Amino acid sequence: MIRRARNATLTGLTAVLLAACATPPSTGTMSFFITSAGSGKGADLGGLAGADAICQKLATAAGAGSKTWRAYLSAPGAFPSQASPQGVASVNARDRIGAGPWYNAKGVLIAANLDQLHNGNFISKETALDERGNVIKGRGDQPNEHDMLTGSRADGTAFAPQTDTTCKAWTSSGDGSAIVGHHDRIGPLPENWAKSWNFSHQSAGCSQEALVRTGGAGRFYCFAAK
């Protein structure tokens, strides 16, 4: 009986310790932010590499440059063709940003992992801060800048390449369109699309003026991949 009780106690302690290890701390160093500014050229970010460089530059200026930063952006692939019989695989935003956990500039937990990020995260106007800890203007503010470039579905994956949802893979400031999300989780209607942080609607175009007209400023999310 004593041995059984001891084993049960050890099993219970092991379970508690494993749960503690699996649960991220409630505060941490910054590993998530919204860019304090875009490229200045609308949705032309210089492709994924250019967007990553913007994240890294802003993070470095904020004292977090030792981490590897990635933009939360998807990019379309290409269907098989004569020139490329195998086609080109899409790039999914969720595959670029590591495994978490992620914290904002104030140390507040945004999401523990990829699953929580895409189903139950803590992104809101109060928590989705820029790299300096500033709140981003949202719906009801002047100007409204709650549109965040993502080019992604709700699960963080890319769209099929038939329709431009990434302003030509983040290289266009003219023709095209991009999927955006709302960092403040507010839209013109009380429907799920209006409250999505990463998949709300398409922009009016790819120029800076078009992004502003839709309710944005060319900003996007940055995550520390490691």
Residue 10 lies in a domain: no
- Structural domain of residue 59, as residue ranges? 25-224
> What are residue 130's DSSP bridge partners?
34
Is 8 a domain residue? no
Asked whether residue 3 is assigned to any structural domain, the reply reads no
Distance (Å, whole) CA 17 – CA 130 = 35
Does 15 reside within a domain?
A: no
Give the angle subtended at the CA of 121 by the CAs of 44 and 130, to the nearest 5°: 45
- The terminus-to-terminus CA distance of the chain in angstroms comes to 48
Does residue 115 lie within any of the structural domains? yes
Number of domains in the chain: 1
Query: In a 3-state reduction of DSSP, which class is residue 57?
Result: helix
Q: Is position 177 within any domain?
A: yes
Residue 168 located in a structural domain = yes
**72 token code pair:** 């939360």
- Structural domain contains residue 12: no
**What are the mean pLDDT values of the chain's consecutive 10-residue runs (226 residues total)?**
48 41 78 95 98 98 98 90 78 98 98 98 98 97 97 97 94 96 93 94 97 96 96
- Read out DSSP for 118-154? TSS---STTT-BBTTSPBPP-TTSSS---EEE----T
pTM value is 0.88
Residue 136 sits in a domain of what CATH number? 3.10.100.10
Find out whether 199 and 152 touch, Cβ atoms under 8 Å. Answer: yes
